[in-house]
């Protein structure tokens, strides 16, 4: 298969590219290497792919530039697209809201347009558990309301789902949205709690626990995310027969469109996560506490039963095993960066 991955210098993008390349698929990666976090980490991810797979093609480009995207599709003729590029982060929306519109809305529209014009067999795109917003019914299921986002990031991810459905309906473009729940693992994003906590523990610095550490999350190891993405790539959605237009639900459609939760079935609080990390690193954290921040969802819990049924997945990485993988990588990477 020829697969185009946007955001291929990102955390999940890099792991997905490596998995597909290891299965002898052709992978073309696009990333703009923006400065939201350390560009060197992004370059190191790309180097990690290229050092192992000579056939990997990496293009430094911005998905908000349609002409560039059109040329990439025209030149490389991908059959499948995995769209992971986005302006990430919940709190950054109060600092630079325009970046979310450019990347998450304009950029995604460009990907949709290119997919329809170049007859892509299947578009998989990243959504987020943040779309559930103010909804406090747990665990989250795909039929739950996503109409009350708590951040601009969440609002753009909700918009992506609606945009994707419109293209599936208008142009018969098979699309699948994946609502990721707190992803962690090697090469992770330095702005996310798992990496922040790992770095602080390693350096003997204070860990700040917002909401006094009482937030709970479905921490999901990146290997489980990649397994689902790759498994779904050829699980192409079809038009549903028997769809009830009088009683529509968010997880079903007359169009070739699906949306799935993708997260661990186990949840833990931030405090419990730190405790597990302490055990793995054989050290004690210096804890500081703070109030809940604006835009933070209080609790998330994934019901990923639909995804497991579709893919036949029955196991997931345990928290301790996932943290051991993360810490092992971090020890090697941090030493190499010195």
List residues with catalytic annotation. 153
Which residue from 277, 310, 307, 256 is spatially nearest to 129, judged by alpha carbons? 307
Judged by DSSP in three states, 176 sits in strand
As a whole number of angstroms, the distance between CA 58 and CA 61 comes to 9
As a whole number of angstroms, the distance between CA 1 and CA 283 comes to 45
As a whole number of angstroms, the distance between CA 208 and CA 89 comes to 17
Judged by phi (left if over 0) then psi (alpha if -120 to 50, else beta), residue 12 lies in alpha
Query: What six digits make up the tokens of 141?
Result: 């299921």
Backbone angles phi, psi at 201, to 5 degrees: -65, -40
Judged by phi (left if over 0) then psi (alpha if -120 to 50, else beta), residue 181 lies in beta
Judged by DSSP in three states, 228 sits in helix
Q: 240-260: b or e for each residue (b if 16 or more CB lie within 10 Å)? A: eeeeeeeeeebebbebbbbbb
């Amino acid at each position: 298969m020829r697969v185009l991955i946007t955001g291929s210098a990102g955390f999940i993008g890099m792991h997905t590219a490596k998995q597909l390349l290891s299965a002898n698929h052709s992978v073309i990666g696009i990333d703009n290497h923006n400065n939201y976090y350390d560009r060197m980490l992004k370059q190191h991810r790309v180097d990690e792919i290229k050092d192992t797979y000579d056939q990997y093609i990496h293009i430094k480009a911005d998905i908000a530039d349609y002409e560039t995207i059109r040329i990439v599709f025209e030149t490389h003729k991908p059959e499948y697209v995995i769209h992971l590029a986005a302006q990430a982060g919940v709190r950054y929306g109060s600092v630079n809201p325009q970046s979310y519109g450019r990347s998450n809305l304009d950029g995604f529209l460009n990907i949709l347009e290119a997919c329809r014009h170049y007859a892509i067999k299947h578009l998989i795109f990243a959504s987020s558990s943040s779309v559930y917003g103010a909804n406090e019914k747990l665990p989250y299921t795909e039929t739950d309301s996503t109409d009350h986002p708590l951040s601009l990031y969440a609002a753009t991810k909700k918009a992506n789902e609606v945009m994707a459905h419109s293209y599936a309906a208008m142009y018969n473009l098979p699309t699948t949205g994946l609502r990721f729940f707190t992803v962690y693992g090697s090469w992770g994003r330095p702005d996310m709690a798992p990496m922040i906590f790992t770095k602080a523990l390693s350096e003997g610095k204070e860990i700040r626990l917002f909401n006094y550490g009482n937030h709970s999350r479905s921490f999901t190891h990146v290997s489980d995310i990649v397994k689902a993405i790759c498994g779904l790539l050829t699980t192409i959605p079809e038009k549903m027969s028997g769809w009830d237009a009088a009683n529509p639900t968010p997880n079903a459609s007359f169009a070739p469109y699906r949306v799935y939760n993708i997260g661990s079935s186990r949840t833990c609080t931030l405090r419990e996560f730190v405790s597990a990390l302490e055990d793995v690193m054989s050290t004690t954290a210096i804890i500081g506490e703070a109030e809940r921040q604006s835009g933070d969802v209080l609790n998330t819990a994934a019901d990923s039963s639909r995804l497991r049924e579709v893919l036949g997945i029955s196991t997931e990485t345990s928290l301790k095993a996932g943290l051991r993988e993360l810490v092992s990588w971090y020890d090697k990477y941090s030493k190499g960066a010195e």
